Amino acid sequence: MKSTSWILLTAASGAMSALGSTANDVMPFQRLQLAGCNTDCGRLEIAAPGTDGHWHYLCSNNWTLREAGVVCRSLGFESAFAAFPTFGGADADAGPLAVNISCDSGSEIDLSECSYSLVNGTSEGCSPGEAVGVACRASGAMKADLEFKTMATDAVAEWIAADARRISSAEENFGVNHNNRKLLNHEGCEIHPMVPRPWTSEFAREAFVFYELVEADYAIMDAELVSRLCDPTPIDDVERGQCATEESCPQKAATNGERLQQVLVDLVSRGLQWNALGMDLTSISPPSSVDSGDPAQVLQDELDLVMDLYLSYNPHASLHNNLDQPLRHSQNPMEVEEEDAMFQHLQRDGFLPIDNFGLGEETLQSLAQTAVTVFDPDFESNATVQVSSTSGGLVATARLELPAIDALFLPAEATADRGALGRVITKYLGPALLDGYKITKLATSSVDDEKSYVASRWHHDRSGRRLKAFIYLHDCDCDQGHPTQVALATHNMLFYRTDSLHATRFNDDYVNRHFTIAKGCGQRGGGFIFDTHSVHKGTPEGSHERTTVIMEFHNQLKCPAVRVLGLPLPCPSGDQYMRQVKLTDTAPFLRV
């Protein structure tokens, strides 16, 4: 996979000691690559002649979307949706390069069109934690915005109104004080042991890979939660809190803090699930008895309170709470019993194994041969095929049109049936799009490759409810074949924070102790569908390479709404050939 880009940069001043150059030398950067994330995101690294092919990470005081966009275009993507001035994670033995790159317009095609100068005339002071990074967007990724922008804009306006209603509900029904989020006087306050308190340093240290990067935010969130749980404001007798049972609430609350604690204890007893990562609200039963009012409305008020206390810190909360959460409560069965069984399995676990996608032997052979061709080290990307890799080719993705896959959901006859899985996907996501597909090869060999392939750490994809389908192009061994691992039933969680990579990377021990794990492995032609909102990971260790076709599906409003809200999310993912085909009644998908 040749991906050589010669970028001629002339040092304005100082010495580039890391590369052994002197001032005013012309430095040809032979290659660019992304490392430490995936094939469409990561830390920017460069290799130059005369350095024995060694990769160097970059630090810059002037790293914006303009510069990131130029890097993405030079790697075959359309644009960047995020720039990381401190992506970090570089290996300590990699050479540093402290350089300010300035791209005037951001429309440059290659970094050679941008100007640069060494920071302070030297590369000293460029530590691995300061390495810059990018997240790229594939060509055509925003095509759906043209059709759905108006609908998404209207939906976002409704969501914002719903968010405001939740705040008012928490204030009016439970006395939550939003004007002073950190009440200081809680001396002597005791918090009931059943009250969720997920942001303590103990929980965070246990759960997160990058604990030191989430510690400060979690400490602030915990302090504000404690202040509210210990709010000493008296409650008038008429306004005192209600509980579903005497066992869960034997005494009436005297203060706002006591009332909040009683409500939360009652919710936990009725099915509220929580941990250090997030909360699952789908199993909470309505109160069996209330002194007044409709039990369903009381439950809604309680859910508003939970979202306000625990989930409002997430900048992506409006998207997750308003678009995704209602889909988790679908009760109506599907007409066909087999399809309903598949849907219920997916709705329960967030993971649906498929024994055979029905592609046929000829199609599988054709796709496998295409993979061999495009992942050959001598293959060069061109106008019709873009190959991206990360960390020296440990993970590689090919973005190209695949007629064999298109034939499954673009029928010759407009009245053709779209198939069982197409209907299951639409039931799960609502009106859905097939956003795109790709061929991916995973060639890591040991757990030591975890730093190069960040998807091999437990994580979720930050974009909320969406589906990916994996089709194995060869047998995928459950031990040596790099199976995707999924923590079952985590797809229903509303995570406390989804706004940064370090807040979405979780420790092995924590996940294995708290969840049941399923592996995506099996025979050639089979595969699985899973919700990427689930906690999941790739398996870095294994002696067999894994090659798969991967397809991605969203609700039609999801990605346009992401743009309306201005959220820097990978929606849709950048490393795929964009299709954005509606899964309607006249567009079949994977007839099985």
pLDDT at res. 303: 96
- Cα–Cα distance for residue pair 463/319, rounded to 1 Å: 9
Copy the structure tokens of residue 256.
Answer: 């706002």
| Beta pairing class for 484-487 and 517-520 | antiparallel
Give the CB-side neighbour count of residue 40, counting CA atoms within 13 A. Answer: 26
Helix H segments across 5-116?
65-74
Q: Are residues 557 and 155 in contact, defined by beta-carbon separation less than 8 angstroms?
A: yes
* Alpha-carbon distance values, 507 to 82, 202, 203, 511, 572 (Å): 25, 13, 11, 6, 26
**455 secondary structure, DSSP code:** G
- Cα–Cα distance for residue pair 377/395, rounded to 1 Å: 13
Residue type, 518: A
- Cα–Cα distance for residue pair 484/504, rounded to 1 Å: 17
Give the CB-side neighbour count of residue 224, counting CA atoms within 13 A. Answer: 18
Give the CB-side neighbour count of residue 274, counting CA atoms within 13 A. Answer: 21
Task: Classify 237 in phi/psi space as left (phi over 0), alpha (psi -120 to 50) or beta.
Answer: alpha
Using CB atoms within 10 A of its CB, is residue 24 exposed (0-12), middle (13-18) or buried (19+)? exposed
Spacing of C-alpha 468 from chain mean position? 12
State the DSSP H helix or E strand holding residue 206, giving kind and residue range, or none if neither. Answer: helix 201-207
pLDDT at res. 251: 56
Sign of the dihedral through C-alpha 576, 579, 584, 587:
negative
pLDDT at res. 174: 92
Helix H segments across 538-584?
558-565
CATH class of 4-137: alpha beta
pLDDT at res. 331: 67
- Cα–Cα distance for residue pair 503/496, rounded to 1 Å: 9
- Cα–Cα distance for residue pair 427/411, rounded to 1 Å: 21
- Cα–Cα distance for residue pair 375/372, rounded to 1 Å: 6
Q: Are residues 68 and 80 in contact, defined by beta-carbon separation less than 8 angstroms?
A: yes
For the chain, the domains span 4-137, 175-312, 332-582
- If you search the block for the tokens 């809200």, which residue do you land on? 565
- Cα–Cα distance for residue pair 158/161, rounded to 1 Å: 5
- Cα–Cα distance for residue pair 524/552, rounded to 1 Å: 20
Q: Are residues 404 and 443 in contact, defined by beta-carbon separation less than 8 angstroms?
A: no
Q: Are residues 35 and 391 in contact, defined by beta-carbon separation less than 8 angstroms?
A: yes
pLDDT at res. 323: 95
Copy the structure tokens of residue 214.
Answer: 């989430």
Using CB atoms within 10 A of its CB, is residue 103 exposed (0-12), middle (13-18) or buried (19+)? buried
- Cα–Cα distance for residue pair 309/323, rounded to 1 Å: 20
- Cα–Cα distance for residue pair 99/106, rounded to 1 Å: 17
Residue ranges with strand state E in 431-508: 432-442, 458-459, 467-472, 484-487, 493-495, 505-506
Long-range contacts of 216-222 (CB under 8 A, 24+ apart): 217/313, 217/497, 217/503, 221/313, 221/496, 222/197
- Cα–Cα distance for residue pair 132/98, rounded to 1 Å: 10
Copy the structure tokens of residue 577.
Answer: 């050939």
- If you search the block for the tokens 């005297």, which residue do you land on? 254
The residues with which 380 forms a beta bridge, in sequence order, are 2
Q: Which residues contact 26 (CB under 8 A, 6 or more apart)?
A: 8, 9, 10
- If you search the block for the tokens 């939906």, which residue do you land on? 155
pLDDT at res. 180: 64
Give the CB-side neighbour count of residue 514, counting CA atoms within 13 A. Answer: 19
3 state SS of 300: helix
CATH 3.40.1010.10 assigned to 332-582: no
Using CB atoms within 10 A of its CB, is residue 185 exposed (0-12), middle (13-18) or buried (19+)? exposed
- Cα–Cα distance for residue pair 267/245, rounded to 1 Å: 11
Q: Over the chain (592 residues), what is each successive 10-residue block's mean pLDDT?
A: 34 34 41 80 74 74 88 85 80 68 78 71 68 84 79 95 96 86 69 96 94 92 93 66 49 83 96 97 86 81 96 95 90 82 95 92 94 92 85 83 76 53 89 92 74 81 95 95 96 94 93 97 96 94 93 94 90 88 55 36
**575 secondary structure, DSSP code:** S
